[in-house]
Amino acid sequence: MMMRLVAGILSVILGSTGAAAELDLDREVLVIPDTHNAKPYIWHVARNPRGYELLLSESKDKAGGEGTFAFQIVSPPGIRPEDVHVFIASDDLHAYAHLRALWKGDGYQFSYRPPGAGAYRLEIVFQTPEGWVNLSKSIKMGGPAVNASPDTLPGDDDYHVKVKLRPKKAYAEHVVTFLYEIFYSGAPLRDIEKLDGFDMQVAAWDETLKEFIYMTPKQNMGGPEVAVSVFFMRPGKHAVFAEFKHNGSIRRVDFAVTVYPEPVAGDDAIINLKPSD
């Protein structure tokens, strides 16, 4: 079950700390990468590559009911998609869902109740022997659904999440790290449960829906801090959706970040930036 932490409990803090945050003396040190160290943090993905096709063969999205979608992935001979993820967002990026598709023998299936009628973006993401593949499709959904997939559920108020940016501004074609500090019932949360082996999963779109990114942490220490480093290609506004699991429920934190063009001169020149700036 997915829960969303509403904007009121999210603090985006642009304060300054060191390049690494040590959780305990006997624990691993959380490392914040240099903004110039791009290679390990670029999401290497083939977007709608030749030889692949997404066939959305069934959709039932009657208002007030469960939307059931079946799809097939046409792939080159001998290649079977693995680790299939489904990401859905409304065109205005106000609605979001990250779903796990179920294999049904001749294709995949997932269920979703849209919060309203309109245009949505569907991103199917999976792994192949050659790496990640992302197939995108724009779809129309009916609604509004009476029993829409919930954005908030009981228990959200028990969590507080702060987000810090390292460096303090995000620049296109450079690494920015989102440092999430998670608290539960007023205390640091130290027992985050793994989601597909990770402490957190992050998805992001730019406001034109032309850039979609899926990233996970390099270090997964169970909290209370989780660092997710992202490499944006396009300047502009980006909606960022993060998920973590605790007490058996998936919780969500979302916010918007402005990605700036690279400054090439002056004190703010990208070449002078450090993780603590």
User: 2-43+151-272 maps to which CATH number?
Assistant: 2.60.40.1930
The residue with tokens 């199917």 is: 124
Q: Measure the CA–CA gap between 243 and 173, rounded to whole angstroms.
A: 24
User: 45-141 maps to which CATH number?
Assistant: 2.60.40.730
Determine which of 39-53, 80-94, 145-159, 163-177 has the lowest per-residue pLDDT on average.
Answer: 145-159
Three-state secondary-structure class, residue 156 = helix
Query: What are the tens digits of pLDDT across the range 110-146?
Result: 988 888 888 999 999 999 999 999 999 999 887 655 4
Query: What are the tens digits of pLDDT across the range 206-251?
Result: 999 999 999 999 999 999 999 999 999 999 999 999 999 999 999 9
The HSE-up count of residue 97 (CA atoms within 13 Å, CB side) is 22
pTM over 0.75, yes/no? yes
Domains 2-43+151-272 and 45-141 share a fold: yes
For 112, 151, 159, 170, 182, the CA distances from 60, given in Å and listed in that order, are 10, 21, 35, 40, 37
Three-state secondary-structure class, residue 56 = strand
For 79, 105, 167, 200, 270, the CA distances from 126, given in Å and listed in that order, are 11, 17, 30, 17, 33
